[in-house]
Amino acid sequence: MFMGEHLHTIDDKGRMIIPSKFRDDLGSTFVLTRGLDQCIFGYPLEEWKQLEEKLKALPFTKKDARAFTRFFFSGAAECQLDKQGRVNIASTLRQYAKLDKDCVVIGVSNRIEIWNKQVWEEYFAKSEDSFGEIAESLMDFDL
């Protein structure tokens, strides 16, 4: 399980150190793709395969299903860590998530998320104000 929040930077070549706490669970090869809310999602291969099966089961006759799977898979890249624990993030993903220097890597149960630090702080501040309301709306899911 991935959890926690870690500050990191991306170098000029698009490389970022993956927090050591996340490396073992990600594995030597993992998938990065466009996430929701303007961040990058990172999945261990086993999680990615499970997600892929679920997305393949969506009806291709539904416009929203086609749009989501296109968005999600077209941004996906299989990645590997180098000897220093760094990953080279594709330029298309860096542009999508506005990753330029300061980043935040968070653990979200079965995946990691990579955020532009400023975007994360704005998102967190906005969500923090409505955290109670969000929790209340999820009570139907037996949390």
pLDDT at site 35: 97
> Tell me: the pLDDT tens digits for 14-25?
999 999 999 999
54-77 pLDDT, tens digit per residue, is 999 999 899 999 999 999 999 999
Type and span of the H or E element at 118: helix 117-129
Confidence of residue 131 (pLDDT cuts 50, 70, 90): confident
Taking the alpha carbons of 18, 19, 21, 22 in that order, is the dihedral positive or negative? negative
Q: How far is CA 109 from the centre of its chain?
A: 11
Residue 37 — pLDDT band, cuts 50, 70, 90? very high
Kind and range of the H or E run holding 122: helix 117-129
- How many domains does one find in the chain? 1
What are the beta bridge partners of residue 86? Answer: 17
Domain that holds residue 126: 2-141
Enter the pTM of the model. Answer: 0.93
Interstrand relation of 77-80 and 29-34 (parallel, antiparallel or unpaired):
antiparallel
* pLDDT of the residue at 45: 97
Q: Report the distance separating Cα 113 and Cα 65, nearest Å.
A: 22
- Beta-strand ranges (E) seen in the chain are 2-9, 15-17, 29-34, 40-44, 77-80, 86-88, 102-109, 111-116
Q: Please say whether the beta carbons of 77 and 65 come within 8 A.
A: no
| Residue 35, domain CATH | 3.40.1550.20
Residue 109's SS3 state is strand
What pLDDT is recorded for position 137? 77
Element (H, E) at 116: strand 111-116
